Chain A
Amino acid sequence: MPGGAKAHLLELQNVRTELQLRDGVLTAVDCVSFHVDSGETLGIVGESGSGKTMTALSILRLLPRSGRVTNGQVRFKGRDLLALSEGEMEEIRGAEIAMIFQDPMTSLNPVFEVGWQVGEPLRLHRATGGRESMSKAVEMFSRVGIPEAARRVSQYPHMFSGGMRQRAMIAMGLSTEPSLLIADEPTTALDVTIQAQILELLRTLNREFGTATILITHNLGVVAGMCERVVVMYAGRVVEQGPTRDVFAHPQHPYTWSLLHSIPRLDDESGKPLRPVEGAPPDMLQLPPGCKFNPRCPFAIEQCSKEEPELLPVKGAQLARCWVTQAGDELTEPGA
């Protein structure tokens, strides 16, 4: 490492991912740089189409056939994942980096016993035998809080509720004790009381196994409760990143600021009308010139529609892609 700096577990530098569509080339991810350290939980927050899932799939090289990473580096434990052969990459997937998805219904195969599927990474990556993988599955089932583990390993996915399926997916992901877990909207399809159970489980497992986690979500409340640091994405770019506490207390990008001001809070007693974000999320095939948020931005200045800012340090440990805060101006209620 240059300068002897401590190496990050995962580091993305200037990643660009393009999708070849019938109507043209869609740049789903552009200039994305961030890192994850061992044991920490990093949140990636953004709306649908902001590029957060495509970023995760780019890391694991699981992009759809039309997709390609056309620029940048993904360094994991010092190796550039984009330069590995498909065989080497398979060694990393499931063994070193595990991923769990939003919909546990479609990520389990309906015709195999759940325990057998949970043991699959062990058989593939740890040369574990069939019977031993089943007994390891029983152990993992109890660790993720599936009751009657010994009986339930031999049941089929349709006999599991949504919350139990997600627990099984987490058991599968963690069975090989990977150093990084990528959880893509793991609770979005679940009810709130079940969401609370799964988030509690992820917190406990993160403490016990020390697995670093990337938690992808559109829910700012989930980020607030789970993540030490957060990356905010908009239109395929990172627009802000920093310690969760600082980003929520003093957002340095107008998109973050606007989102935080637009959502109702359970503990808000003021009864004031919400302050909506104007306009609509951008058409990714026709992005505006300059800053991609400028047409919706209440703070935009002339420069914003002409030139796109870079992601630069703005305040403390916070980085933002914004001309206004980079010039040292505060984001305060317009007209206040």
Chain B
Amino acid sequence: MPEALLEARGLKTWFPVRSGVLQRTTGQVRAVDGVDLEIRRGETLGLVGESGCGKSTLGRSLLRLVEPTAGQILFKGKDLLRLGPAGMRRMRREMAMIFQDPFASLDPRQTVGGILAEALEIHGLHQGARQRQARIAELLDVVGLSPALAGRYPHEFSGGQRQRIGIARALAVDPSFIVCDEPISALDVSIQAQIVNLLERLQEQFKLTYLFIAHDLSVVKHISDRIAVMYLGKIVEMSAARELYRAPRHPYTASLLSAIPIPDPAVERGRERIILKGDVASPIDPPSGCRFRTRCFKAQPRCAESEPPLDTVQVGEHRAACYFPLEP
């Protein structure tokens, strides 16, 4: 088994809720509430869950783009949460992020070349005008854009091309780990496969490790080696990608899978669907015990009494946080 590149232990990221004239803290949004996970060198770990489950906050916490409340993040064995500003700046060269909306994440007043130059400048990489130009040309080429476009502005590009620019910027520092946060969900359907294939090719070429965050399970299953399923701040199931699809153990994973429409009328008409009741509970005041129990079709009194840990079900690499798991 390849070694872990990144490991999170007991990671919590809470946001205070303030109210009243004095802005007193009246509660905590427990966006990430006790997550243990490891990401292995060279793999793609998919992270899925519905809006508000904390998957984006988890991705940002791992890069310390938001400050975790508690826990450890070991990157190549070093605890990121104990690094000072200088140490963290050095570490930032090893990690990058690709965002959902390439339009909102690119400075509209800078040319593409300027955007990439800035990323190099911050870390003092490729100094000297000629070397920098050469590196920018190389980055554009590697994501499938013509280096001649370096003088253009973001608005002159289509959505798919803008996401390529976002990817080039992430690659600028030559990172080993990239958090891809919903990188294709803002793109037109016909463009999505181009970006998925590009990310796969770059991973191979540069030996990258990805955390791939998305709500679309079909894409996640396609690109990931392993998948973690998140619900209300917790990871509820984790396994190899195909195994998760073939034999989900957690009732939430099963209902999530059955809710994804398959683009084939012959298959789709015959499918049995698990339709969940109600909405996701509030992360400010999550239910006692298992957080999914308020919507779960298998819930028993025990589920309200204590919270099942992720290794409640453990078969090889497959783990699920459920007292009454589905049969494999």
Contact = CB atoms under 8 A, between A and B. Distances in A.
Interface in B191-210: 191-194, 196-197, 200
Contacts of B258: 196
A220 B50 contact: no
B245 A196 contact: no
Contacts of A271: 222
Contacts of A276: 190-191, 193-194, 196-197
A280 B158 contact: yes
A281 B159 CA distance: 10
B189 to A, nearest CB: 6
B74 interface: no
A64 interface: no
Contacts of A218: 188-189
B217 to A, nearest CB: 6
B189 A267 contact: no
A266 interface: yes
Interface in A187-204: 191-197, 199-200
Most A C-beta atoms less than 10 A away, residue of B215, B222, B245:
B222
A275 interface: yes
Interface stretch (B104-112, B166-174, B259-267, B310-318): B259-267
A240 to B, nearest CB: 15
A77 interface: no
Interface in A5-32: none
Nearest to A279: B190
Contacts of B261: 199, 219, 221-222, 224-225
A285 interface: no
A193 B265 contact: no
Contacts of B266: 245, 248-249
A219 B216 CA distance: 11
B279 interface: yes
Nearest to A192: B259
Contacts of A266: 217-218, 221, 245, 257, 260, 262
A193 B232 CA distance: 14
A240 B276 CA distance: 35
A193 B259 contact: yes
Contacts of A222: 261
A225 B265 contact: yes
A208 interface: no
Interface stretch (A55-63, A256-264, A324-332): A256-264
A107 interface: no
Interface residues of B, number: 45
Interface string B79-102: 000000000000000000000000
A265 B264 contact: yes
Contacts of A277: 190-191, 193-194
A244 B256 contact: no
Interface string B34-52: 0000000000000000110
A197 B276 contact: yes
Interface in A230-259: 244-245, 248-249, 258-259
A224 B265 contact: yes
A193 B218 contact: no
Contacts of B255: 193
B24 interface: no
A224 B263 contact: yes
Interface string B256-290: 11111111111111010101100110000000000
B147 interface: no
A248 B215 contact: no
Given A273-B197, A277-B193, A268 B158 contact: no
Contacts of B269: 225
B107 to A, nearest CB: 22
Given A267-B262, A280-B160, A280-B161, A224 B268 contact: yes
A91 interface: no
Contacts of A197: 275-276
Contacts of B257: 266
B242 interface: yes
Contacts of A274: 193, 196-197, 222
A161 B245 CA distance: 29
A265 B193 contact: no
A239 to B, nearest CB: 13
A164 B277 CA distance: 12
B137 interface: no
A193 B256 contact: yes
Contacts of A195: 259
A163 interface: yes
Interface string A275-300: 11110110000000000000010000
Interface of A: 47-48, 161, 163-164, 191-197, 199-200, 218-225, 244-245, 248-249, 258-260, 262-269, 271, 273-278, 280-281, 296
Given A191-B215, A264-B196, A266-B257, 13 more contacts: A191-B50, A191-B51, A193-B276, A199-B261, A200-B273, A224-B261, A262-B192, A263-B193, A264-B218, A276-B190, A276-B191, A280-B191, A281-B158
Interface of B: 50-51, 158-161, 188-194, 196-197, 200, 215, 217-219, 221-222, 242, 245, 255-269, 271, 273, 275-276, 279-280
Shortest beta-carbon contacts, A-B, top 9: A221-B261, A276-B193, A264-B222, A196-B259, A191-B50, A274-B193, A220-B263, A277-B190, A262-B193
